[in-house]
């Protein structure tokens, strides 16, 4: 296994953000939008469990898309974990994209199993008999009480290439970051300060979680720290950089880098329409990051991120549904085909 594969194989689910930003704001013309969606092959075979059923997009409303990442090692479909799971709420009328990262260690109720476990375990077919995208979607629906029928999955081998194509990202690294794993050669070595991060350094920044904050930490005022916070911070910086660099040559190179590494149960016409609607998205005003309401704790001796349920319900009502905090919402009904 070469060094690049070693550096990528444990990368958490982040490049979906790269795709979302690029897909919606970097297209220099309708021709490039079409080329992008034409190159992406929607994976109908992954929808055999009836994930969508008769679900159709309401183009004057909102849609929820679950964005997943996977281990990129050869021969591993979805790997055995999904390190980061992010729910994107896309307001098609107001043209606002809201994203909320659900920590991989979130303690969730797993439908059909009458048990609680970590969120990222639901994607593992070796852990749950029907583990995979369908079970993860049902679990997120139960957690958030909103319908989640669409998903997008991105492989991460193109991460460094995409960052290098846009010329790197200017970022403030908040502290020294060092980690070395002799078993697979993973090396993270960043110094504190303002700097230009190339693809390799960017990869190190969004992967780092070997400190007291780990993947997720939250203070008494609700501010998020840890790897999830860094990923959101980097995404916003990358979005600005991409929006400033929409040259045809860059768009063409980006399309080539990501098009073959994307999987979704949306069809080509839906992606094309979505891309056209959001092709001029301003990341500073139309891309909103929602902090996940939870806290790190131990339950029965196991480390979890425990959900602040009332706060999550309020956030979902206000941010994802556009309702008042007093409006009641219900868990979406599931037919036998969903189960």
Delimit the domains of the chain by residue range.
Answer: 3-158+232-323
Asked if pLDDT for residue 154 goes beyond 90, the answer is no
Q: Alpha carbon of 84 to those of 21, 24, 67, 260, 297: distances in Å?
A: 17, 21, 9, 21, 18
pLDDT tens for 200-226 read 899 889 888 888 887 787 877 777 788
Q: Please tell me the distance from the alpha carbon of residue 116 to that of residue 74, in angstroms, as a whole number.
A: 31
> Which helix (H) or strand (E) segment is 231 a member of?
helix 227-244
336 vs 262, higher pLDDT: 262
| Average pLDDT for the chain | 77
Q: Alpha carbon of 206 to those of 197, 203, 223, 232: distances in Å?
A: 11, 6, 18, 9
Side-chain-facing half-sphere of 15: CA atoms under 13 Å: 29
pLDDT tens for 280-320 read 778 788 888 898 999 989 999 999 999 999 999 999 999 99
Could you tell me which CATH class the domain 3-158+232-323 is placed in?
alpha beta
155 vs 106, higher pLDDT: 106
What secondary structure does DSSP assign to 16-65, as a single string? HHHHHHHHHH---SHHHHHHHHHHS---GGGGTT-SSTT----TTSEEEE
Q: If you search the block for the tokens 């974990």, which residue do you land on?
A: 81
pLDDT at position 170 is 92
Q: Contact 91/288 with Cβ under 8 angstroms?
A: no
Predicted model pTM: 0.76
pLDDT tens for 66-103 read 988 665 444 444 444 566 688 999 999 999 999 998 98
Nearest by Cα to 95 from 272, 288, 338, 304: 288
pLDDT at position 58 is 93
Q: Contact 108/129 with Cβ under 8 angstroms?
A: no
- Beginning with the edge strand found earlier in the chain, give each strand of the sheet holding 262-264 in spatial order: 262-264, 150-154, 62-69, 84-91, 96-103, 287-290
pLDDT at position 81 is 54
pLDDT tens for 25-40 read 444 455 555 665 666 5
pLDDT at position 37 is 60
Q: Please tell me the distance from the alpha carbon of residue 89 to that of residue 53, in angstroms, as a whole number.
A: 20
Asked if pLDDT for residue 127 goes beyond 80, the answer is yes
**Alpha-helical runs (H) found in 115-169:** 133-144, 159-165
- In this structure, the number of other CB atoms found within 10 A of the CB of residue 111 comes to 19
């Amino acid at each position: 296994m070469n060094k690049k594969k070693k550096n990528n194989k444990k990368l958490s689910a982040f490049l979906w953000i790269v795709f979302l930003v690029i897909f919606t704001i970097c297209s220099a013309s309708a021709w490039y939008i079409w080329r992008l969606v034409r190159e992406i092959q929607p994976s109908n075979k992954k929808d055999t469990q009836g994930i969508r059923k008769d679900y159709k997009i309401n183009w004057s409303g909102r849609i929820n898309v679950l964005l997943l990442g996977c281990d990129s090692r050869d021969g591993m479909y979805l790997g055995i974990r999904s390190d980061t799971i992010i729910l994107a709420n896309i307001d098609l009328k107001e043209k606002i994209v809201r994203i909320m990262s659900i920590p991989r260690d979130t303690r969730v109720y797993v439908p059909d199993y009458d048990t609680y476990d970590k969120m990222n375990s639901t994607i593992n077919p070796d852990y749950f008999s029907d583990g995979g995208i369908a079970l993860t979607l049902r679990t997120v629906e139960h957690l958030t009480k909103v319908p989640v029928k669409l998903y997008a999955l991105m492989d991460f081998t193109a991460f460094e290439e995409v960052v290098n194509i846009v010329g790197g990202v200017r970022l403030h690294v908040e502290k020294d970051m060092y980690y070395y794993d002799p078993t697979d050669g993973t090396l993270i070595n960043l110094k504190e300060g303002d700097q230009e991060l190339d693809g390799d350094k960017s990869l190190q920044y969004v992967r780092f979680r070997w400190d007291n904050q780990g993947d997720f930490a939250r203070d008494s005022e609700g501010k998020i720290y840890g790897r999830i916070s860094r990923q959101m911070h980097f995404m916003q910086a990358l979005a600005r950089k991409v929006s400033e660099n929409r040259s045809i040559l860059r768009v063409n190179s980006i399309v080539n880098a990501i098009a073959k590494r994307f999987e979704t149960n949306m069809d080509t016409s839906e992606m094309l329409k979505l891309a056209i609607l959001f092709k001029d998205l301003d990341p500073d005003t139309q891309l909103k990051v929602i902090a996940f309401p939870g806290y790190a704790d131990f339950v029965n001796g196991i480390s979890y991120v425990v959900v602040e349920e009332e706060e999550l319900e309020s956030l979902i009502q206000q941010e994802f549904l556009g309702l008042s905090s007093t409006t009641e919402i219900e868990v979406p009904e599931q037919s036998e085909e969903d189960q």
